[in-house]
Amino acid sequence: MKALVFQGVEDVKVADVPKPEIKDPGDVLLKVTLSAICGTDLHSFHGFAPPATPGTVIGHEFVGVVEGAGPDVKRFAPGDRVVSCMYAYCGHCALCRKGWFVQCVNQRFFGMSEQFEGLRGGQAEYVVVPLADQTLESVPDGVSDEQAIFVGDILATAMFGAERAEIRPGDAVAVIGAGPVGLLTTMCAQLFGPARVFVVDMVPARLEMARQFGGIPIDASQTHPVEAIQKQTGDLGVDSSIECVGLVTTLETAIRCVRGGGTVAMNGMPGVVTGEFPYLSFWLKTLTLRAGWCNVPPYMRPLLDLIAAGRLQPEKIISHRMKLADAEEAYRLFDAREATKIVLTP
């Protein structure tokens, strides 16, 4: 079958690889109908964390149709449309039993490397999903592939961060960054009833999209974002802010624009291992900081229900629909920031 294979740093290639097969009794073999490229894929593409191993089939965002299922699979049968969580988790370790599946000590990530026990990725024609009763969620009739693909990673990340930002009805919120994560976070933040969601970015097209999702755009290339937010909140600051970029400077903005006693969620994966942190002002403002590496599984069903009800429309951020055969070009476009979100059909 065709699949996108990581060759080395900044080198991916569409290649012929053997079709994967069911090995364990909880496996499902999935015929992929849509995959997507994630910002995390770019991290690996450039040789940053999480590292990819040459020869790995890439991709952790995918939907498909069940083609076969092992004897232990109870929830799914051939023909079912499903979407996958970006990782498989054991369900039995101490952390899984506390409900922290993302922190599973046996976690296996799709499409990265053998460091994560090497689950083959989904930017391919077929993929095998282990422990499918846990890893997959069924897609309702009214939800398209282009909608469902978001719930296994990026939309769950957006919702997770929005929830951890502890937004209450009537609050003012700031989303820092209007890339794919920031735009979906803007959407999800609305589900917690804020009066206002400010969205900070420097790209007019992204800010315009944020406005369509109910955000109040603040162009950081034109105005100082912290001052603009202070001004619009009567010098108080927002109740919560959600960082969606992953830089120390954008986190600093997120911390500075929040009121005393407020909460800062970090949805963006940090691009540095360590960096400077404003300890004293963080402490004097009695803030809370919540990291965003996402506990996906509990969010998949509710997100699908919200999409089915028309209350979330993540597909609006798709900018490019391409063929798997053109995935090399897709990576180039995405890396050049010419695309907001790219989906691939086999």
Residues 209-248 that bind a second copy (CB under 8 A): 234, 236, 248
Tell me which amino acid residue 35 is.
Answer: S
Rounded Cα gap, residues 161 and 264, in angstroms: 9
Q: Which position among 31, 211, 290, 320 is part of the footprint of a second copy (CB under 8 A)?
A: 290
Q: Which position among 18, 141, 280, 336 is part of the footprint of a second copy (CB under 8 A)?
A: 280
Asked if 258 contacts 174 with a C-beta cutoff of 8 angstroms, the reply is yes
Question: Which residues on adjacent β-strands are paired with residue 12?
Answer: 6
Asked if 184 contacts 150 with a C-beta cutoff of 8 angstroms, the reply is yes
Nearer to a second copy, 85 or 330 (CB): 85
Q: Which position among 2, 75, 211, 316 is part of the footprint of a second copy (CB under 8 A)?
A: 75
**In terms of Cα–Cα distance, which of 38, 77, 34, 246 is closest to 156?**
38
- Site residues for a second copy, 316-345, by CB under 8 A, read none
Q: How far is the CB of 179 from a second copy (least distance, A)?
A: 17
**In terms of Cα–Cα distance, which of 287, 289, 286, 282 is closest to 268?**
289
Q: How far is the CB of 17 from a second copy (least distance, A)?
A: 29
Rounded Cα gap, residues 16 and 38, in angstroms: 22
Interface with a second copy, residue 275, by CB under 8 A? yes
Kindly indicate which of the ranges 53-61, 165-173, 174-182, 333-341 contains the residues binding a second copy, using the contact rule CB under 8 A. Answer: 165-173
Interface with a second copy, residue 142, by CB under 8 A? no
Interface with a second copy, residue 278, by CB under 8 A? yes
Interface with a second copy, residue 42, by CB under 8 A? no
Interface with a second copy, residue 188, by CB under 8 A? yes
Nearer to a second copy, 9 or 94 (CB): 94
Interface with a second copy, residue 315, by CB under 8 A? no
Kindly indicate which of the ranges 39-47, 270-278, 325-333, 335-343 contains the residues binding a second copy, using the contact rule CB under 8 A. Answer: 270-278
Q: Which position among 47, 99, 142, 204 is part of the footprint of a second copy (CB under 8 A)?
A: 99
Cβ-count burial of 141 within 10 angstroms (0-12 exposed, 13-18 middle, 19+ buried)? exposed
Q: How far is the CB of 125 from a second copy (least distance, A)?
A: 28
Burial annotation 199-231 (CB, 10 A radius, 16+ → b, else e): bbbebeebbebbeebebbbbbbeeeebbebbbe
Tell me which amino acid residue 220 is.
Answer: A
